[in-house]
Structure 1
């Protein structure tokens, strides 16, 4: 057994000596871009804690429940989580290639006439071996190290993409919930419009019976009334579509959601609204919350490391194989006399294929340039999306406020026109125009409420969930 210990000591010493030779690696060392044109990029990706609870600022218990359930049940999130586990398993497997590998084996062999010598005729030989077989690829030029760097970057990218899927699912649930409440709001407005038109129709009908109005006037008011009724199935279809989308996002079968309505007179629950304004912190680098930017940066790191992997093929590769155990013949005696060991270093070089190696290096460098271009484009896309989302939200809020004032004015105009027409001092067409304008303003206000909510979710989405409310 002393020989075995000596061999193990020699093998360890050899490992330490070779380790000093593998301290360097060919290929470029990756450095994250610090600036793209005049855009600084010095902060690494950060998954904001706000990303998974930002929607709670709406103080909508139903929306909270939907999102919390989606984070647990959604299959896209489950798939991204599984992909994350797979990526880190690949990284651990790749990283382990830098260490010696080995296996324990035990075998028996029997053979006859092992040589052409006539004296071996009809001689049956038997042998038995047991021990450990070791192999080690010496990473002289950093091929394994670069491969490990690439695998780690891919694993980190999978982590970022997992967070991105959560962000997207939260956004989709919120938007679909807004669509659902928006369709309910449209239905509520349509019912209010029907009630309003029924009141005007009753006045026209009374004047018709008194000989003070014509059939044309009644027909015109009926036309508006039926137009509103014709829009109701479209709103109901939007409601069913939003319900189906939410059910899909929550991994539920159709018609299982129970989105309650307001307890006040059976009215639909209004769209979620923030009680506080959106807060943009001056000087904050929101790019670090963008998963697409961070993902492309990790892809750039992986492609840079891949250059070193293929560059290492320009140089020789050294591997060492070994055996430590027992070999015995007839009798199968396992003792110091049958103890065996072997060391077999192998040097290989793709000398006859260097043209292909250089072609692979050129391809790897081109892939790295492509990854850099993709990263830079994502940065500019992110900056413009964030700016546009804020502008669109502010414009939508201003438009919504103006439409609210328009609705108030239209309601006043209908009230005055109806009073004058009923008193016989007003024209029917004034009443008809006032009714038509009120219908349009009410519907537009409902549409803008939904649009404002959707654009608010877009801010959350484009800022990577890293934005706060005051």
Structure 2
């Protein structure tokens, strides 16, 4: 039993700590990059016709107005294996929060025993004295220094960081599905352009063969025409392989085996195109929206809370304990003489090893500083990625427009060259040159259109949409 003076000392210590929580309260540091006004302005590269100063919608892929793409993304968000793993990680983190919460509630244990007592001398084996004991014990931590509360705070922030990491997987999966879908359609478009060039070259080969047979051409002309056909035909297998790879990637993203890829997209001829400017918002909205920024901010909150967990070890750990029990022979087990109970505060304090505790506090503070640096790096990288994606997408739009004009001119020149050659106005080498220029222009335009689709996905990926639900943005970032 604890004496009166001891109980008074413990209660005085408890009163001195009551209402205190060890360690610093978390707020977004004033020197964090995310708090800087310049980080929350409109993007430098967003003042172009391709962009609108509006908030990016959650399901950005619906801007394409393509029901097939919507269905693919929805299926992937249900069945993707990386997302399933991320969901499991979130459940595990949530369970850890419950574990920490349980440490702040009352704990109970019970015991029972039966003992053969031997008091000395001879004990008759036919009637051995038995001593029975039953007891129940209750302890409730007062958490006066707030260590348990800081532990719960840290675990909760860690769980929120895991939830943000899950949201980041959603962003990546939605972007990967869109990229694969756009890639399939773009490759088919390139195949169609290659086929048009092949058709023109084969027509030239047929005409050259006839002219050579009629004495108006040479075998050399025929060989060169056939070489042009074979060179263009050689590009087809590579394009088919690229399309199949994208189909298999799409199947895997949707949780399907490769053979079960979506058959309806295999012959898609036109990549989805946006019919309106891309809504991009500003830097402040980006910081609130991007899951990797939120995950880094929550990790900083957890690291700050851990300073409090370590600081709490400097103070006594006080709990209220109660126990009740009975002991004696079976007949005496429930008699008033054999029943006892106790109630009082319990104190534990690791005061002799304060240097080690101080070292752990310093280590926790250094970890918080490192986590802040990482958080700043994530914010800077998010802004850099977005500015880069904005610039690249706008420039690719201009490039595609110029290449489309060049392709039209090359097609017109190729038609004219064919007519002039048939009337004997130009040499065959001019025809081949015009067709080669058309093939190059078609190839460059198709590649630019495919690149444009990639640039769009890069932009949406940088903007970080596709995950948001109400109430998920930390208050510290929601300014």
TM-score normalised by length of structure 2: 0.85
How do 1:367-386 and structure 2 match up within 5 A?
367-386=367-386
CA contact (8 A) 1:129 1:328 kept: yes
Corresponding position: 1:50 with 2:57 = yes
Which residue of the other structure, out of 105, 109, 112, is the alignment partner of 2:114? 109
C-alpha displacement of 1:239: 1.2
- Distance apart, 1:280 and its partner CA: 3.2
SS in 1 for 2:334: coil
Secondary structure (helix, strand or coil) at the match of 1:376 reads helix
1:155 to 152, 159, 166: 159
Query: Helix, strand or coil: the match of 1:457?
Result: helix
1:194-236 Cα shifts (integer Å, max 9, x gaps): 1111111122112211212122211111111111111111111
Corresponding residue SS for 1:396: helix
| SS of equivalent to 1:260 | helix
- Summarize the Cα distance change of 1:294–1:201 in structure 2 as closer, same or farther, 3 Å threshold: same
- Residues 188 and 268 in structure 1, CA contact (< 8 A), matched pair in contact too: no
What residue in structure 2 maps to residue 324 of structure 1? 324
Aligned to 2:238: 234
Are the structure 2 counterparts of residues 368 and 315 from structure 1 closer, same or farther at C-alpha, using a change threshold of 3 Å?
same
CA distance in 1, matches of 2:284, 2:143: 43
What CA deviation, in whole Å up to 9, does each residue of 1:79-131 have, x standing for no partner?
1112112212211220222222113x362412232x5x558897844344445
Q: 1:98 aligns with which of 90, 101, 104?
A: 104
2:147 is equivalent to residue 143 of structure 1: yes
Asked whether the equivalents of residues 14 and 318 of structure 2 are also in contact (C-alpha less than 8 Å), the reply is no
Contact 1:293 1:375 in 2 (8 A): yes
CA distance in 1, matches of 2:337, 2:149: 41
CA distance in 1, matches of 2:144, 2:451: 61
Aligned ranges for residues 116-127 of structure 1 at < 5 Å?
A: 118=121, 124-127=128-131
- Conserved? CA contact 1:418–1:431, under 8 Å: yes
TM-score normalised to the size of structure 1?
Answer: 0.86
Separation (CA, whole Å) in 2 of partners of 1:342 and 1:218: 109
Indicate the SS of the match to 1:50.
Answer: coil
Whether 1:245 aligns to 2:241 is: no
Tell me which residue corresponds to 1:31: 27
Residues 248 and 261, structure 2, Cα contact 8 Å, conserved in 1? no
Per-residue CA distance 1:323-354 (angstroms, 9 max, x = gap):
13544523265355544322364433223322
Q: Is residue 196 of structure 2 the alignment partner of residue 195 of structure 1? A: no
1:380-399 alignment, distance < 5 Å = 380-399=380-399
Q: Is the 8 A contact 1:26 1:312 kept in 2?
A: yes
| Correspondence 1:275 to 2:275 | yes
- What is the Cα deviation at residue 22 of structure 1? 3.8
- For structure 1, the residue ranges without an aligned partner over 5 or more in a row are 1-13
Secondary structure at the aligned position of 2:139 is classed as strand
Indicate whether 1:254 and 2:250 are aligned.
no
Is residue 186–residue 446 contact of structure 2 (8 Å, CA) maintained in 1?
Answer: yes
- Report the equivalent of 1:167: 171
State the alpha-carbon separation in 2 of the partners of residues 303 and 204 from structure 1: 77
* Per-residue deviation, 1:18: 5.7
Q: 1:49 and 1:429, CA in 2 relative to 1: closer, same or farther beyond 3 A? A: closer
Q: How many residues align?
A: 441
Choose which of 67, 77, 81 in structure 2 pairs with 1:71.
77
Structure 2: distance between partners of 1:164 and 1:297: 14
Give the superposition deviation at 1:317: 2.2
Q: Secondary structure at the match of 2:465?
A: coil
Q: Is the 8 A contact 1:125 1:330 kept in 2?
A: no
Give the whole-Å Cα distance in 1 for the aligned partners of 2:131 and 2:113.
6
